[in-house]
Each structure stands twice: as C-alpha cells, then as structure tokens.
Amino acid sequence: MATATRELTPEEAHAHPAPESIVVRFAGDSGDGMQLTGGQFTLSTALAGNDLATFPDFPAEIRAPQGTTFGVSAFQINFGSTAIETAGDQPDVLVAMNPAALKTNVDALKAGGLIIADEGEFTARNLAKAGYAEGGNPLTDGSLAKWQLFKLNISQLTLDAVKPFGLGNKEALRCKNMWTLGLALWMFDRDRAPLVDWLKTKFAKAPELAEANIAALNAGHAFGETAEIGGDVAGLQQHSVAPAPAEPGLYRTVTGAEAISLGLVAGSKLAGVDMFFGGYPITPASAILHHLSRLKEYGVTTFQAEDEIAAVASAIGASYAGKLGVTSSSGPGIALKGEAIGLAIMTELPLIVVNSQRGGPSTGLPTKTEQSDLYQAVYGRNGDAPMPVIAARSPADAFDCAIEACRIATQFMTPVMLLTDGYIANAAEPWKVPDMGGYAPFPVAFRTDAPAEGGKFLPYARDPKGARPWVKPGTPGLLHRIGGIEKKIDTGNIDYAPANHQAMTDARKDKVDGIAAYIPSQDVTLGEKGSKLVVIGWGSTFGPIHQAVRRARSKGLDVSHIHLRHIWPMPGNLGDLLRSYGRILVPEMNTGQLKTVLRDQYLVDARPLNKVSGQPFRIAEIEAAIESALA
C-alpha cells in the first residue's frame, strides 16, 4: 500500500470538528484492483487529516474463476473526524463492480446505505456465475429495496474516457478502478493531485498507461461534478469530512507489517546490534520480508530461505554469531519452526519469532484473520520450553511491540514470540512518527573479558536477571560449546544427570517467569478497578472491545476494558486486578484460548465470547455480550 505523510500543525490539532465517521467498502473481482483502489483512497483520506482504519479482505486463491463469488476481493475503510479504532461494523457505502461482489457483500451494508453498482457487468453470464437465478437481476427485481441503489455503466464510461489512448478493450477496462476512485474522491471532496503524481511514478516507463489511468480518474471525478445525481439518490452527494483532532506532529499511514519492520530495526539500533532476518514466504507474513529487504542501510541482512526450518535455523546461527536473529511466519510455518525454537530456548540465544496468525488448522484460511495460535505460542513446543509472548493490538502498536520484543530477547537471552494477525498485518491506520530520543536504549554487552589465568569461562553462569552471557565466536579466551542436548549447570557441557536436568529446566523457567518483574504493571485501558464486569482481550480485538465498552459505559453500565500486551509472562498485578471484578468476559477469535490460560493461572471464572469466522469482531457483537453479561 502507498504511504501518505502529513504534518499536523498545532492549529489543526486543536480544532474540534463535530464527530462523524463514514464506512466505505470497495468490492469486485480479484482482477478489478480493489486493494489498490482502497489503498489509494486511504492515502487521500490520510492526507485530508481524517483518522482511519482499514480492512483489506481478499481471497486465498491466486486467481479464482473470474466473476465467481470465490474471487471477490474487498477493501473497507472507516474514516472520520473522530477517533477511529475499527474498520467499522457496517458499510454506509458499497461499491460493487460485478454481481458476485454485490452478492457476497450487500448483506453487510447498513439499512438505507448506498450501493454503487457497475451495471455494465451485470450480464446474464456474470449473473449466472455469481449464482443468481436464471433471468434474475438484483438491479431490477426490487430485492435491493431496503438500500439506496445507484447503477451506472462504469465499464462503458471507462472505455469512453480512455478511448483517445488507443488501448485494447482488456487494457482499457483495467482503468475502471481509477474511474471508480475518481467518483469516490468527488463524493468525499478529496484532492486528486497526489493520485495523479502516484500514477505518473508507477507508470513512468509506460506514460500512455499513466495518462489513460489519469483520464479515467478525472472522468470519474467529473461525472460526480456534472451529472447532478445527488437529487436522484440522497446518499450520492458530495460530502466533506473534517479532519480528526490529534496531537501535532508528523503522521503517516502504516500497516502492521510495515510497523513491525520499522520497530525491529529501531529495536536492533536501541540494542546496538545489527539484525539478521531469515524468512520464508507465507501469507500474511511475507510483507515483513519485503519491507525489511528495503532497509539494508540500517544494518539489516535479509535472507529468503528454501523452507521454514532453514529460515529459523539461519536466524539462530546469526544470533550465535552476534547478530539479532529474527524470523517470521504464520501458524503452519511456526509449527515447522517448533524444534528449532526449542533449540534457541535450550541454547538461550536471543531470537525474535513473528507470528502473523491466520485461520487454521493446516492451510486453513490463508488470507483471513484469527487468534488461534495463542496455545501454540505459549505451550507449543516439546519439553518444558518457556518463552515470552507479546501481542500487538493494532498496526501502529506493532512498532512498540517489536521494540519490546528486541529488549526482552537481548536482555534476557531468550527467544520471544511476537503475535499479530492477518487483520493487523494488512490493515492501515495513521501513526504519529515517534521521536526516537524518547526511547531508552538497552545496549547489549557482549562478554569479551577472558577469565583470569587458570580460570574457566562458564557460558551458562547467570546474571541477576537469570540471563547467560552473550559471546561472539572467536573471542579470545572464551571458547565454549552450545547445542540442543541438556547442558551442565554453568559449564555448558553435556550432562544427562537427573538433578542437573531438573535444575536447568527450573533455571530456564525461572528466567522467563522473572521477566514479569521487568515489564509494566497491567493498566485498565478504559474504566476502573472493581467494576461489575471487565472485558479483557489481546491482539486485534482491541478496537471493537474498546468501542463496545465505551458505548456501554455511556449507557451507564458498570464495565471496564483491560487489554494485554504481555501474554507470557503476564504482568505481576494481573491476578489481583482480575479478582477485583464481578465478572470477566474474554472475546477472542478462537475457541477460548486466553480464557483457558487466565483460568489456569489465576483460578478466575473467565467466560468466553468466541468467533472463528475469519472476520474481525463487530462492535455490536461485543456490545450485546456486555449487556447480556450484566442483565
């Protein structure tokens, strides 16, 4: 996705427009460019100063049969003059580029919402592909009566707009997403200039394509200006949404994958070590490899391995050599990395493992979102193999979570798992570019001093935090051996003795458990201690939980919100905090994994609210659960 940056002045920051938000969903065939259209509309929205959240939703198939419901790709954006924390429950506007897009998305549209449909694509053949009954056409049969419908032949209007450029029919129709974008820019009073500049850059080697797309963009915008369509369809009017109040500063749009990449680089700099990233492509984690490969000037080495095992093994080797080893995958790849992660735990080397969760098990739902890898993160290795687990709650939050993962990995000599999911990885939101001077460095101190004459270096001697020394191979006088077989206390030599294994297992566990003393106490995100109900979540459920609790509190309900960043070990005050509440509700996009961990650790009656559909929670779903719990 393209990135927009905007400097917010103090005058703009202190303006307080009337709160307002609008949800728009673009939907079409995979070849219609809906992700690009949504991404560019997001760019224009960010430049307008609105707060926003996006939700790209696309099929797993590389190319499903054209015109079928299997191949529908959608992009939803919620933007407004108020704080936006989710991509929105129900769209106000649905742009449907073909019958399949309409069929799969129209039920999500709020009653009275606006449908903009390309009637040029509603042919008998396309209607049949989408599963409509023979002779049936939703644009004419009255089945869309509860919504406002505006139908126009976008395909033909696009062909007319680009005709002077001599493109073939197929190439010309590829411009219809730009025509649609032009209409959307007119509807919401957006500036076209940044999009024109972007098109000229994108098609610099094919200027005729740039000019054709610009012509389509301008034609869509002009159609809105000149067609006088507002009187016919109440929803189809030009609408200007004021900027959202925010702190002054430089803002840019950022996806979760971008924020993690930038956070990993920042974290390695704060630690004073270079980073090595060993990865293997897998949806939705591949974007991290793509972003990091463009950051070589910051001491980043990227390596695309032949498989998941080679990727994590190369990262472990880099950590042994004195780099910060990082690897990334999704659930299936994390399973393959499991044995090697155990090796990093046994050898006690810093390693960061990013898990961008998706629907499972097995191949599951590669392009859909889920939170079903929490058990895998906390427990999912052979033997007693504890490792810290951190979860990001939003795309922007992923930056700070990546830095925190670097801090814990290097200061405690341990692998760390950083959990995101498909929603966070692909979604975008505004991010205030931070002043890195406000981040405390945590420089690595490699062991370089050899023992006194006659002394022996002890690679598993521990500091007060339980961490062993980090030594670069070849350091004079510090020759040592590490590996996957159990180590003798202090010396690191192979030792099978029962008492030694007990002691080393306890030492590894105590080190990870002890990290709780070096992380912040758990705060109450919204509300206070001791409410009748607390809604506790983790990861990308933050937005819908926060908005649902806010709405419930505005109705006078006694409910609070807690959101976890540190999943393992948990903050030291969490048990007492949870026991202060009358009831505990845990919304998760799984079958109740955090709920089980909370019950196990604190013996509290945590109740689940589960959703495993590949789609994020809606605010209304959590709001209804809150009201039911307090009924």
User: Tokens at residue 311, please?
Assistant: 């990727």
User: Tokens at residue 373, please?
Assistant: 């890898």
**Which residue shows structure tokens 């406002």?**
148
Cis preceding linkage at 388, omega within 30? no
The arithmetic mean of pLDDT across residues 440-462, rounded, is 93
Give yes or no for residue 382 having a pLDDT over 80: yes
Return the exposure string of 441-464: e unless at least 16 CB atoms fall within 10 Å of the residue's CB, then b.
eeebeebeeeeeeeeebbbbebee
Annotate 310-365 with DSSP letters as a single string.
HHHHHHHHHHHTTSEEEEEE-HHHHHHHHHHHHHHHHHT--EEEEEEE-B-STT-B
What pLDDT score was predicted for residue 228? 63
User: Tokens at residue 300, please?
Assistant: 């980043």
pLDDT tens digits for range 310-336? 999 999 999 999 999 999 999 999 999
The arithmetic mean of pLDDT across residues 434-441, rounded, is 96
Given the candidates 3.40.50.970, 3.40.50.720, 1.20.59.20, 3.20.10.10, the CATH classification of the domain at 251-438 is 3.40.50.970
Residue 623 makes CB contacts below 8 A (sequence gap 6+) with: 548, 551, 552
Q: Which of 433, 429, 439, 428 is nearest to 8 (CA)?
A: 433
User: Tokens at residue 375, please?
Assistant: 């058990």
Give yes or no for residue 234 having a pLDDT over 80: no
Bridge partners of residue 302, in order along the sequence: 277
Q: Are residues 328 and 354 in contact, defined by beta-carbon separation less than 8 angstroms?
A: yes
Q: Where along the chain do the CATH 3.40.50.970 domains lie?
A: 251-438
Give percent of the chain above pLDDT 70.
96
Residue type, 303: F
CATH match of 18-230 with 3.40.920.10: yes
Residue that wins the pLDDT comparison between 231 and 36: 36
Give yes or no for residue 13 having a pLDDT over 90: no
Bridge partners of residue 145, in order along the sequence: none
CATH of domain 533-630: 3.40.50.920
Residue 494 makes CB contacts below 8 A (sequence gap 6+) with: 483, 485, 486, 487, 488
What pLDDT score was predicted for residue 311? 98
Q: Where along the chain do the CATH 3.40.920.10 domains lie?
A: 18-230
**From start to end of 181-285, where are the E strands?**
249-255, 275-279
Give yes or no for residue 408 having a pLDDT over 80: yes
Tally helices (H) and strands (E) across the chain: 21, 20
Q: Which of 396, 390, 393 is nearest to 616 (CA)?
A: 393
Bridge partners of residue 80, in order along the sequence: 21, 51
What pLDDT score was predicted for residue 388? 98
What pLDDT score was predicted for residue 65? 87
- Name, of 6-15, 56-65, 483-492, 532-541, the range with top average pLDDT: 532-541
Angle between helix axes 176-187 and 193-202 (nearest 10 degrees) is: 160
Give the CA angle between residues 127, 128, 131 to the nearest 5°.
90
pLDDT tens digits for range 129-187? 999 998 899 999 999 999 999 999 999 999 999 999 999 999 999 999 999 999 999 99
- pLDDT-derived band at 452 (thresholds 50, 70, 90) equals confident
Q: Where along the chain do the CATH 3.40.50.920 domains lie?
A: 533-630
Q: Are residues 324 and 269 in contact, defined by beta-carbon separation less than 8 angstroms?
A: no
Give yes or no for residue 18 having a pLDDT over 60: no
The chain-wide mean pLDDT, for the chain, equals 94
Alpha carbon 349 to its chain centroid, in Å, reads 27
